[in-house]
Amino acid sequence: MALRKFSEIVKLAEKQHGKAGLAKRLAENAKKPVVKKQSDDRYLAAMSQAVFSAGFSWEVIEKKWPGFEEAFDHFDPHKVAFYADRELARLLKDTRIVRNGAKIQATINNAQFVIDTAKEHGSFAAFLKSWPASDQIGLMEHFKKHASHLGPSATMYFLRFNGWDSFILSPDVTKALIREKVVSKAPTSKADMKAVQAAFNTWTEQSGLPQRDVSRILSFSVGPST
């Protein structure tokens, strides 16, 4: 079945929010997605924030984040990667952070992931810049294979918040994809994710918009009765 033209999906979003209302919502984040120019320690920090926030309150984690920075040596990957039993035991007693052993260990593992990636590409930012937005599912698979505790949702938000042109499969975006018959349910299988990527690539080409904005418009196109 052929995909609905993206211009028609834009009209659905305008029906929900009004033409001016949709424009205002899109204007809230109008700058083109650009991978952040930041050091590797900031990427490890962002990764860790995504890991600790998964299944937890973002607000609580953000409020405690200065304590995380101090406890994890400001996320210097060359320090964190070499944390041993002594540091792990220290962190499990540190009330400045969320004392989740699996997520603490994930941060240690991800420090090595950042180091290895930077060694191969020059920096973690350079690695992200080199990966095309047309293959987000491939990038998510790479994170699943090489990073720790970064599932699909955490990875999508990590990418979006750090400037990579990421779609996010929020509940409303998923509803829109089901409505458009791209998938029949929330996508989890490789076949479903491949179909999602193909749809985003088609709509991105049609609209000339970043995948981020295609994702947002899909979300805005979902009404209360959908």
**Do residue 151 and residue 171 come from a single domain?**
no
Percent of the chain that is helix, strand, coil (3-state, to 5) = 70, 0, 30
Nearest residue to 200 (alpha-carbon basis) of 185, 213, 191, 184: 213
> What is the Cα–Cα distance from 215 to 211, expressed in whole angstroms?
6
SS3 151: coil
- Domain of residue 195 covers 6-25+167-220
Mutual angle of helices 6-17 and 19-27, in 10-degree steps: 100
Pair 155, 46 in one domain: yes
154 and 177 part of one domain: no
Q: Return the percentage of the chain with pLDDT > 90, whole number.
A: 94
Contact 211, 166 (CB under 8 A): yes
Distances (CA, A) of 7 to 2, 70, 137, 154, 208: 14, 48, 24, 30, 11
Query: 66 and 142: one domain?
Result: yes
Q: What is the 3-state secondary structure of 160-216?
A: HHCCCCCCCCCHHHHHHHHHCCCCCCCCCCHHHHHHHHHHHHHHHHHHCCCHHHHHH
Q: Report which of 223, 220, 224, 200 is spatially closest to residue 26, judged by C-alpha positions.
A: 220
The two three-digit tokens of residue 88, written as one number: 């792990």
Segment 137-149, tens digit of pLDDT: 999 999 999 999 9
- Note the pLDDT of residue 66: 98
Same domain as 75, residue 54: yes
Q: What is the structure's pLDDT at 1?
A: 59
pLDDT in tens, 190-218: 999 999 999 999 999 999 999 999 999 99
Residue 127 sits in a domain of what CATH number?
1.10.340.30
What's the average model confidence in pLDDT over 166-183?
A: 98
Q: Total structural domains in the chain?
A: 2
169 with 214: CB under 8 angstroms? Answer: no
Looking at the fold, whether 156 and 44 belong to one and the same domain comes out as yes
Residues 157 and 186 in one domain: no
Reported as a pLDDT band with limits 50, 70 and 90, residue 29 is confident
Residues 153 and 94 reside in one and the same domain: yes
- Smallest CA-to-CA distance from 200 within 216, 188, 222 is with 216
Residue where a domain stops, chosen among 161, 177, 192: 161
- Of 161, 179, 205, the residue that ends a domain is 161
**Of 30 and 219, more confident:** 219
For residue 96, pLDDT beyond 60: yes
**pTM of the predicted model as reported, rounded to 2 decimal places:** 0.94
In a shared domain, residues 154 and 52: yes
- Same domain flag for 44 and 135: yes
pLDDT given at position 225:
45
- Which of 25-34, 44-53, 110-119, 120-129 is predicted with the least confidence, judged by mean pLDDT? 25-34
Q: Establish if 57 belongs to a structural domain.
A: yes
Question: What mean pLDDT is predicted for residues 122-140?
Answer: 98
Q: Would you state the pLDDT for residue 67?
A: 98
Residues 214 and 123 placed together within one structural domain of the fold: no
Q: Are residues 123 and 151 in the same domain?
A: yes
